[in-house]
Amino acid sequence: MKKILLLGGLLFASSSFSQVLTEDFEGLGGTLPAGWASASSTPGSGDFSTGDAVAANAGTYWPVPTSSDFAMVNDDVCNCDLSAAYLMTPLMDLTGLSGVAVTYDFVDDITYGPSLPHQVEISTDGGASWTSIYTYTVDAGNLNWQSNTIPLGASADGASAVMVRWFYNDGGTWATGLAIDNVVVQVPANDDAQLDGVTLTRWALMGSSNPLSIQVTNVGSNAITSLEVDWNDGAAHLQTITVNIAPGASANVAHPDAVTYATAVEQNITVTITQVNGGVDGDPTNNGGSALHNTLSQQTTKAVVIEEGTGTWCGWCPRGDVAMSYMYSTYPNDFIGIAVHNGDPITLTEYDNGAALSGFPGCNVDRTLLGESVSQSLFEQFYNDRITMGVPANVGAIVTGTGSTISIDATAIFYTPVSAGDYRLAVVISENGVTGTSAAYNQANYYAGGGSGPMGGYESLTDPVLAADMVYDHVGRALLGGYAGQAGSVPATIVDGTIATYTFNYTVPASSVRDNMHAIVMLIDNTTGAIINATDMSISESFNSIATVDAINMSVYPNPASDNMTVSFEAEGDFTITLTDMAGRIVSTNAYNNLSGTQSISVPVTNLENGNYIISVATEGVSYNKVVVIK
């Protein structure tokens, strides 16, 4: 059914201009503020209520960005055709006032189906009749908070019984929504710029030049032709910038001074609009913002993780299987895909619940883009949009153990300071080649017969595809450290070069095949839930033949290294020293025969890319391994 959810934000302070109403919808526990009302064509099931982003997103396909409390209307999976819904302000007396405007924040878009614009309407007779004063021009795919300032018009000047309402028509579709926040009704100041947000790259290589821009809305009555803007990191960067922003309009404004640091640092950049049109801003309470910025001592390498919701019962889910196969064959080194099953015999309930996907097929991308649709082209788009993003750390793993008992030493190496992070290491165990014999392993297939177009060969198969003909790959089998990661596995205070490690233990079930399984090591930001970085490693015993006891007293120094590193160990016989990257590719190997006694062997690393590697000293079928860092 459709729910309308109110959640809030900023409460504007009083100023010299006339303010009629402010509402931030905070802490209301599901109810509307006093005097506010909602109505719909389906009373009782289309009403607005209050909550936060978690409540808004529960059971829907429409991911509302994290915010404080706000107001929202959305459909869930029932596709109930609730044709109209309204959120109405209390009655307002504007006697003696003119030029009144309403300012509000909103999100108006969807993940599936057509984008449906909301309207703002006004009544000057206490709600008996209504006139539309604004219709949103849909910005398809924009699921970010935006700000609007809408003049109420001449009919509201001096009126004593004014109401404003937001109208939303779902058009009989599913997964649609409108979120409203921070409503202010006032006579705008003549010159009033509102700073809505700051855009600055979070993780960037030291010495790089990083542009800073701000999103500005003109909530005053005059056009804005110039802004004086300062970004400050302890030193002022004050610049006057020529702009052209009409009343009620918004613009992205670039600051002329780029953000650049020669060393690895963490900076909280504060940004302030200090003047508008060469003079004082009419409301200085909405002129500030900030952004965190970190510089990296070396370039890091990112992988993109897509967790795809699927199920044997889901007839459109073969689309996800085809997309996953394409991505692994096209981007084998830095794409990681995991099939999160729902409602079938290979469902891992903890994973299914954690991913919280309500649309199938659906996906989460780096646990940052949530509830996205699934296709080969979309997966490639997500990958291309995110693969070049900077990240604070590289991740790696060493797998040890024989038989069904394994240990995974997960590692994150940071190349920037973080003063108060909440990062966690986690491991997802995935398995390829999963099969079953019961009818529950039959794969529903709506592509059978070709009526829905080609789909990687599924169009030539039956509906359902019988279990005997199905093999399921990339199946999420276990969460080590839980969905959110292992608490305490990464220190809260991080300096450049911090190496965080945690050992996860796992027993391969008798029903699984170790040689078909992978350990996907993740670094998770527990503050946002996002996967910051990840790596994918086979746990096949033949791939990971690693001794658990350092019987040769092996040491490696310096670590990190940039030119040469020395491997020291006690030797008796023939040995091979191999350097392998974290994807398992051998980058150097040398054999040494008839060694005896203490050895100190230099290994050149000058020509290697910066990152994590595994150095192995092997003899008589056993290898001794350490993670090393090249920088």
Pair 182, 211 in one domain: no
- pLDDT digit string (tens) for 588-614? 888 888 888 889 999 998 888 887 788
| Contact (Cβ atoms closer than 8 angstroms) between residue 413 and residue 629 | yes
User: In terms of C-beta distances under 8 Å and separation of at least 24 residues, what long-range contacts does 454-457 make, across chains too?
Assistant: 455/318, 455/319, 455/322, 456/318, 456/321, 456/322, 456/325, 456/326
- pLDDT digit string (tens) for 407-455? 999 999 899 999 989 999 999 999 999 999 999 999 999 999 999 999 9
pLDDT value for 547: 36
Q: What sign has the CA pseudo-torsion 443, 445, 448, 450?
A: negative
Give Cβ neighbours of residue 122 (< 8 Å, ≥ 6 apart).
Answer: 130, 131, 133, 152, 153, 155, 156, 162, 163, 164, 165
Of 504, 523, 542, the position where a domain reaches its end is 523
Of 122, 153, 186, the position where a domain reaches its end is 186
Structure tokens, 525: 């930001």
**573-589: b or e for each residue (b if 16 or more CB lie within 10 Å)?**
eebebbbbbbeeeeeee
pLDDT value for 346: 97
Structure tokens, 450: 């070709």
Rounded distance, CA 251 to CA 244, Å?
Answer: 9
Mean pLDDT of 576-592: 80
Amino acid letter, residue 387: I
Whether residue 10 lies inside any domain: the answer is yes
Structure tokens, 461: 């198969």
Pair 449, 339 in one domain: yes
pLDDT value for 4: 36
Mean pLDDT of 488-506: 93
Whether residue 528 lies inside any domain: the answer is no
CATH number at residue 343: 3.40.30.10
Whether residue 550 lies inside any domain: the answer is no
Pair 165, 227 in one domain: no
Tokens 């276990």 label which residue?
478
Structure tokens, 103: 């300012």
Pair 471, 348 in one domain: yes
| Contact (Cβ atoms closer than 8 angstroms) between residue 425 and residue 489 | yes
Radius of gyration in angstroms for the set of CA atoms belonging to the chain, rounded to a whole number: 29
Task: Please give the angle made by the CA atoms of 377, 380 and 386, to the nearest 5 degrees.
Answer: 140
CATH number at residue 127: 2.60.120.260
pLDDT value for 63: 54
Residues above pLDDT 90, as percent of the chain: 58
Rounded distance, CA 14 to CA 209, Å?
Answer: 40
* Helix-helix angle 318-330:376-386, to 10 degrees: 40
Structure tokens, 28: 């209301």
pLDDT value for 549: 33
Query: What is the DSSP code string of 33-74?
Result: PTT-EEEESSTTTS-EEEE-HHHHHTTBS--PPS-SSEEEEE
Structure tokens, 354: 């954690």
The edge-to-edge listing of strands for the beta sheet with 250-254 is 193-199, 213-218, 250-254
Pair 165, 201 in one domain: no
Whether residue 417 lies inside any domain: the answer is yes
Pair 144, 255 in one domain: no
Q: What is the pTM of this model?
A: 0.73
Structure tokens, 143: 């699921």
Whether residue 541 lies inside any domain: the answer is no
Pair 176, 206 in one domain: no
Rounded distance, CA 91 to CA 185, Å?
Answer: 12
Pair 405, 499 in one domain: yes
Whether residue 380 lies inside any domain: the answer is yes
> What value does the mean pLDDT of the chain take?
86
Rounded distance, CA 213 to CA 271, Å?
Answer: 10
Whether residue 544 lies inside any domain: the answer is no
- pLDDT digit string (tens) for 112-170? 444 567 899 999 999 999 999 999 876 655 667 788 888 899 999 999 999 999 987 76
| Contact (Cβ atoms closer than 8 angstroms) between residue 48 and residue 89 | no
Domain count, the chain: 4
Q: Residue 311: pLDDT above 70?
A: yes
- Per the structure, the complete domain to which residue 573 belongs is given by 555-630
Pair 319, 279 in one domain: no
Whether residue 532 lies inside any domain: the answer is no
Rounded distance, CA 405 to CA 400, Å?
Answer: 9
Pair 168, 254 in one domain: no
- In DSSP terms, 245 is beta-bridged to 224
Strands 19-23 and 611-619: unpaired
Of 153, 186, 219, the position where a domain reaches its end is 186
Pair 35, 175 in one domain: yes
Pair 622, 567 in one domain: yes
CATH number at residue 227: 2.60.40.10
- pLDDT digit string (tens) for 235-266? 999 999 999 999 888 999 999 999 999 999 99
